[in-house]
Amino acid sequence: MAENKPSVFERIGGEEGVERLVGKFYDRVIADPKLGRFFQHVPMEHLKTMQKEFFSEALGGPLFYTGRSLRQVHAGRGIHKEHIQCFIEHLLATLEAERADLDLDDQEVNRIYSRIAIEADRITDDVAESG
Ligand code: HEM
């Protein structure tokens, strides 16, 4: 019998586990003086639900992202590369802090990180002309 390792989504604790991870991530983002202001008038429950779907998809499902186009959502907010970099550093810090508890290996951390980081060009106003 082949060993059946539970999926990353399952090991993280399913939907609730992803929710916890996203919550911890946004606690860091909002506490950062460079980023907090972007989220001041945002309905955070909705954002966290959307991010839960987005992260779940990054983990290979079974939840999938049903939100708006990332380019549309972020356009015109004055988000620049420095903000993206900072946001992604918080993502890495969250994954590093939680990885032991969540039993994530290097490859799994990289997979989540890459899936989020690959969207960077769609989010910054700096490269709006590049498609
Ligand atoms: C590569 C990194 C990022 C990814 C993958 C990402 C992803 C998302 C997703 C999935 C949503 C929810 C969309 C929806 O409601 O349909 C969202 C909303 C939002 N994001 Fe990002 N984001 C990123 C970086 C950033 C950065 C750097 C900022 C600001 C500094 C930012 C600010 C916001 C704000 C303010 C909203 C809420 C929009 C609203 O509901 O009014 N995001 N993002």
pLDDT tens digits, one per residue of 103-116: 888 988 888 888 88
What's the pTM? 0.89
Q: Where are the domains of the chain?
A: 13-130
In 3D, which of 39, 69, 65 has the Cα closest to residue 52?
65
113 lines ligand 1 (CB under 6 A): no
- Asked casually if ipTM beats, i.e. exceeds, 0.85, the reply is yes
Counting atoms of ligand 1 from 1, which one is nearest the CA of 118? 1
Give one DSSP letter per residue of 4-71, joined into a string.
-PPPHHHHHTHHHHHHHHHHHHHHHHHHSTTTGGGGTTS-HHHHHHHHHHHHHHHTT-SS---S--HH
What does CATH list as the number for 13-130? 1.10.490.10
Reply yes or no on whether the pLDDT at 11 is more than 60.
yes
Residue 115 or 82, more confident: 82
Residue 41 labelled as part of a binding site: no
